[in-house]
Homo-oligomer: A and B are copies of this chain.
Amino acid sequence: MGRTGPHRDPELTAKILASTHELICTKGPRAVTINEIAAHAGVGKQTIYRWWPTKASVVIDALEQQFASDNPFPTTGSAKDDLRAQMRAVARTFSSPTGSMIRELVAQSQGDPALADDLRTRFVAERRSGGATALRAGIDHGQIRADLDIEIALDLLYAPLWMRMLLGHQPLDEPSVDAIVDQVWPALAA
């Protein structure tokens, strides 16, 4: 029962994801509609709905493609330095156009549990696992105290960045990141 006919065109997928990314960066997350994405990609609307169940899932794919290239987790031997470097990279991403896509996804995921799950599984968990590894390494090297609850520690480090991206109540630049790390460090250090 082999299917006949043409299959999914990878070139189209790329065009759609690229258009999604470009439009969100250009016009803001809210202003982008499926119609616009389709038109900008020179693609029929159905071609999008054939492969993605909803607009948010297009955005999440576009985000993943974009994010894959960034943020190789550094390993210098110093847990604090590694975490700071990684947090700087995250802050940079959060401030960049790619951050707009993340914000859009978080927005959409409120009231769309499936998307929320996707976002947690495919994006948040991914980022956190890197941090968790660094923390565990720090524990092994005696730089971080052994009784640390890793999940809470990750929240202490990353949640301020998320909150600043989503609410904008405080800056999200490099000095701020460093200040956060410095201030929270006594709670983590061995």
Residues of A within 8 A of B (CB): 28-31, 100, 103-104, 106-112, 116, 119-120, 124-125, 128, 148-149, 151-153, 155-156, 158-160, 162-164, 166-170, 179-180, 183-187
Given contacts A112-B30, A179-B149, A183-B153, contact A166 B169 (CB under 8 A): no
Copies of this protein, total: 4
Q: Tell me, in angstroms, the Cα distance from A100 to B110 when the chains sit together.
A: 8
Q: Which residues of B contact A109 (CB under 8 A)?
A: 167
Q: Which residues of B contact A107 (CB under 8 A)?
A: 106-108, 110-111
Given contacts A159-B159, A159-B163, A170-B155, contact A111 B185 (CB under 8 A): no
Q: Does more than half of chain A's interface fall in helix, strand or loop, or is it mixed? A: helix
Whether A152 and B148, one on each chain, are in contact in the complex, defined by CB atoms closer than 8 angstroms, is no
Q: Per a CB cutoff under 8 Å, which of B110, B170, B179, B187 touches A184?
A: B187
* Shortest Cβ distance from A5 into B: residue: B44
Q: Which residues of B contact A180 (CB under 8 A)?
A: 152, 155-156
